[in-house]
Chains A and B, each alone.
Chain A
Amino acid sequence: MTIEAVQVPANTQASYPRIEYNEAYLDEQTKRVIRRALLKAVAVPGFQVPFASREVPMPRGWGTGGVQVTASVVGPDDVLKVIDQGADDTTNAVSIRQFFAKVASCTTTTRTDEASVIQTRHRIPEKPLSQNQTMVYQVPTPEPLRWLEPRESETRRLHALGDYGLMYVKLYEDIARYGHIAKTYDYPVVVNGRYMMAPSPIPSFDNPKLHRSPALHLFGAGREKRIYAVPPYTDVVSIDFEDFGFEPQKFSTPCAICGSVGVYMDEVVVDDSGRSIFVCSDTDHCERTAGGQEPEPAPPCCAVATVQGTSAAQDASDVGAHDDTSVHLVQHPARLAVGQPAKTTEGPLLSVTDAGHRYGQRFGCRGVGFDLWPGEVLAVVGESGSGKSTLLGMLSQRLSTDTGSVRYRTEPDKLVSLTDLSEREVRTLWRTHWGFVHQDAADGLRMHVSAGGNIGEPLMANGWRHYGKIRAKATEWLEKVEIPVDRIDDAPATFSGGMRQRLQIARNLVVGPRLVFMDEPTSGLDVSVQARLLDLIRSLVAELGLAVVVVTHDLAVARLISHRTLVMKDGEVVESGLTDRVLDDPQAAYTQLLVSSILQG
């Protein structure tokens, strides 16, 4: 328990022991901890700073984050206002205001212009804020990517790398489904050109008020233990598409009480027949306008700024700015001409020398060496447990390279050892140069995002911000992989196995990668579907000049689509060479066994 309770001797008239709390309830040490988090949050606008969220006398989810922030910043000179969805008179607002009136020496008010600290749940007051005001937001879910990516470790990585393509998928889905961006609250913003931020669930109506606001905005999420901030005069830009701009909500009817227009409205049901009226959500504003004290002009909603290509541009500048040893990756032509064959380079694209991966004391695979050139398909065959998938994992940097080297050509005259690349660079490779087709399409697709969104996501991750163009590209690729175009808005969860696999291939190839890994792409499909898929892979590979490493246990697959084959057994390569030579004239005993036991007829 962190409360410093001082028990006063019961020498007064009360029979209860009276408890006196430390100023503003929290102990000084806790306040210092929170202030440090706040300073960091102000220094890195929009970044979620973890903090040790304490117990306060209300349940988590009732504004505990906001209360802790307010307690840490409020002082005797402050005037505190507390609103709940704009209203000063709801239970939550009243109880928090009374709480601070009791435990802190500040004064309280309901007037926006008098307040120096305004704690709020889900609104920004209508009256424009000024330089010496501080907004404190109660935040339920601080992570803007949460509903798209469930893993906290992954969302943190996405923030660190500025990899925000995923966020645009949500907007794409809205437009595909409703014809416009349907999100009306907690509309994601980019702060200071860097971090994607959830502006707590304020209505999108309030988003423009954050942009270059003279006030300081502090966000506290007590249950999620995060604090973040928007310092005064910071760019806060609501994300959108070039052809579907951000549009804050608009209300056509004036307030039924005060007649205000251009303010945020609440719908209030007034009788049993369900008749309703619209009134100002900001009660202070409504009272003052109705009382004729303050005939206010509509607050400016003009500062609507939009952001385009933030993540990708930021990405590029960050690599240069912070990572001196970085390898500057080739600016891939994807953004200019997606789907065009990558420029062929002189020399192998992937060069593997004596590479191995160890699981503890055992080698999963070892002594693997080969060169892969653009336009070449290399099959890795062998029975299960032979190390095929380990090899694939190692090549694709999912598993470490414990011995030897795996080098990749990032530029026409530059072979780079993959182990020397930073995580950011490897991810950039994944976004632009590489693809991975999983055996189970569910691992490679977002099963509840539409087919168009699935194909569009890599484009958006690469900075595409035009809905129409993204959709046209997705349509083109659906045709290429022979999925009926009218299924573009259906989720792959409703697709057959073969369609899912073709969708996964489209998603992987849409940005025009140079190297694609495939892990048993056709197993688990019935034979007729397999043949169609193999034919598709073969023609796309030839058309796009891809280099492919395909792992399969099916020698027929290897024969149909690969130029060369590696045969693996017990983690080692027992035979390699031209596919037809390996299969028609196998030299190793194991290959002969494989060929004779599988290729009958």
Chain B
Amino acid sequence: MISIPDTPGPVLSVHGVDKTFTMHLQSGQRLPVLRGLTFDVGRGECVVLAGESGAGKSSVLKMVFGSYRVEAGSIMLDGADGPVDLATASPREVLAARRDTIGYVSQFLRAVPRVPALQVVAEPLVARGVPREEAHERAAGLLSRLSIPGRLWALPPATFSGGEQQRVNIARGFITGHQLLLLDEPTASLDARNRETVVELIRAELDRGVGMLAIFHDADVREAVADRVVDVEAFAPQLALVAP
């Protein structure tokens, strides 16, 4: 488990971030999504992004994770290797931040076909140099906790139901205990009991001092864990469409 440094500042500080999509295939139409997005995520704090579908909540997570380009502004991460601006970081720095600082539970599990679930979950630990047996042990613990039966561990998650896939994805995101965790609707397709387990997991991580940036459509879960809500729509640009 990664220890959380006892530094005062926020783990993530987003400041003045703009995002526009340019659709070259639609004759270069520009679709501005966010203007001047600014918020912090403190250690042990759970910040929930709110807004209508299409407001750009997932885009915010993806910019923080590095899968989306940031046009303007800064995304300062107080990472394991010191502060880094993810808006301008080189690919190597982003990869290092993902390995050492940021965990991500995406909306959909994307894994190499054929790789067993246990290995999928253990992989982020192995990438950090944890011995394979130990990583598998921890993965097994998490999967049991999320009530994935042991007989499924050796199967590739592609064959699982939606809910099972989502739980594998959650286990994969939580296993490393990274300082910052991005959650994109982790409980969307879970039943009440598993939702409860996830809430427990989230609470435990928050108590350890992990910062979280999350999207929850489920009001119960949101109320159970959110410390603060950031309304993404407040940062929507004035003009919906800008001519090229």
Contact = CB atoms under 8 A, between A and B. Distances in A.
Most chain A CB within 10 A, of B68, B69, B126, is at B69
Nearest to B69: A585
Contact of A593 (B24, B68, B94, B115): B24
Interface in B66-117: 66-69, 91-92, 94-95, 112-115
Contacts of A159: none
B62 interface: yes
Interface residues of A, number: 23
A583 B65 CA distance: 14
A578 B89 CA distance: 11
B24 A592 contact: yes
A578 B67 contact: yes
Nearest to A577: B91
Contacts, number: 52
A563 B62 contact: no
Contacts of B67: 578, 580-581, 584-585
Interface string A81-121: 00000000000000000000000000000000000000000
A373 B91 CA distance: 11
A578 to B, nearest CB: 5
Interface stretch (A251-259, A310-318, A531-539): A531-539
Q: Interface residue tally of chain B, by bracket?
A: 20 to 34
A581 B19 CA distance: 14
B22 A593 contact: no
Contacts of A587: 22, 69
Nearest to A585: B68
Given A535-B112, A538-B112, A563 B95 contact: yes
A578 B24 contact: no
Contact of A581 (B23, B68, B112, B113): B68
Contact of B113 (A376, A531, A588, A589): A531
A593 B25 contact: yes
A534 B111 CA distance: 12
B112 A578 contact: no
Contacts of B68: 581, 584-585
A409 B115 CA distance: 34
B27 to A, nearest CB: 10
Interface string A559-596: 01001100000000000011011001101110011001
Given A581-B68, A588-B24, 6 more contacts: A532-B114, A563-B91, A580-B66, A581-B67, A585-B62, A589-B24
25 contacts: A531-B113, A532-B114, A535-B112, A535-B113, A535-B115, A538-B112, A560-B112, A577-B91, A578-B66, A578-B67, A578-B91, A578-B95, A581-B67, A581-B68, A581-B69, A584-B67, A585-B62, A585-B68, A585-B69, A587-B22, A587-B69, A588-B24, A589-B25, A589-B28, A592-B25
